[in-house]
Amino acid sequence: MTHRSVFRSLGLLAAVCAGFPLTAAAQTQVCDDNARAAYQSAVDAGASEAELEAQFGRCRESTTQGVTATIYNFNSWYEKMNGCGLHPQQRRAACDVEIRQNFGYGAFPTGSNEYVLFCFDCDLNGTFEYATMGGVHVTNNISPQGPSWYHSANALATNAPTTCAWNSGRTIRMRAILSWAARPTSCAYKPIWGSWMDFQARLDP
């Protein structure tokens, strides 16, 4: 599919979306599997973050649930995180990824990716000085069992800076960003489909 045909389709989708109020009910009518397919096509065609935001930002806004403890859910109809942590001895960060629907991920076996960016504020100065990417591949359901399913996304922090003083016992601040289909580009990235989790970890020896 060419860039022109992708964005012509997205323009038609945007026109349809504009006719609905920004409510949870509208999300189920508009930001559904068809919107997911259009989003995946746009990502595959090289759409910029700004172009994705312009076309699909309403999919996030209609289902933003606000902050509950340390979890911020954007559009979490299809996937969300429930818990994250750090294995300090292995220098491995991990989160669960709850797969919540039968469809919306791509036909088996091609499917799509759930990306998780792990961000580290090791000196607690309010700035994330290190990030590492993890993820897990998912597909539409072909099994007789229904949702939810729980996968794990993890990544090694092998090139963390010296401010991340492993074995020091220091408490650090972390953020995990779950984003379906599109890779998070920074520690301030707001996914359309996915969630944030801010949490503390400790660099135990």
190, two tokens: 């707001």
Phi/psi at 144 (nearest 5 deg)? -70, -20
**pLDDT tier for residue 31 given thresholds of 50, 70 and 90:** confident
CA distances from 24 to 31, 81, 152, 190 (A): 10, 20, 28, 19
Strand order in the sheet with 171-180: 66-68, 71-73, 194-202, 171-180, 112-121, 130-138
Query: pLDDT tens for residues 162-198?
Result: 999 999 999 999 999 999 999 999 999 999 999 999 9
Distance CA 46, CA 56 (A): 15
Q: Which of 164, 165, 141, 137 is nearest to 151 (CA)?
A: 137
What pLDDT does 44 receive? 94
pLDDT of residue 70: 76
Give the pLDDT score at 61: 57
130, β-bridge pairs: 120
- Count, in order, helices (H) and strands (E) of the chain: 4, 10
* Model confidence at 24: pLDDT above 50: no
- 66-202: CATH topology: Immunoglobulin-like (2.60.40)
**Residues facing residue 93 across a β-bridge:** 86, 155
Residue 192: predicted pLDDT: 94
Tell me the C-alpha distance between 83 and 95, whole Å: 6
Rounded distance between C-alpha atoms, residue 91 and residue 20, angstroms: 46
What mean pLDDT do residues 134-154 have?
Answer: 97
Whether 112 and 138 have beta carbons less than 8 Å apart is answered as: yes
- Separation between Cα atoms, residue 88 and residue 20, nearest integer Å: 47
| Furthest CA-CA distance within the chain | 56
What are the b/e assignments for 69-99, b being 16+ CB within 10 Å? eebbbbbbbbbbbeebbbebeebbbbbbbbb
Q: Is the per-residue pLDDT at 152 higher than 50?
A: yes
Residues of the chain with CATH 2.60.40: 66-202
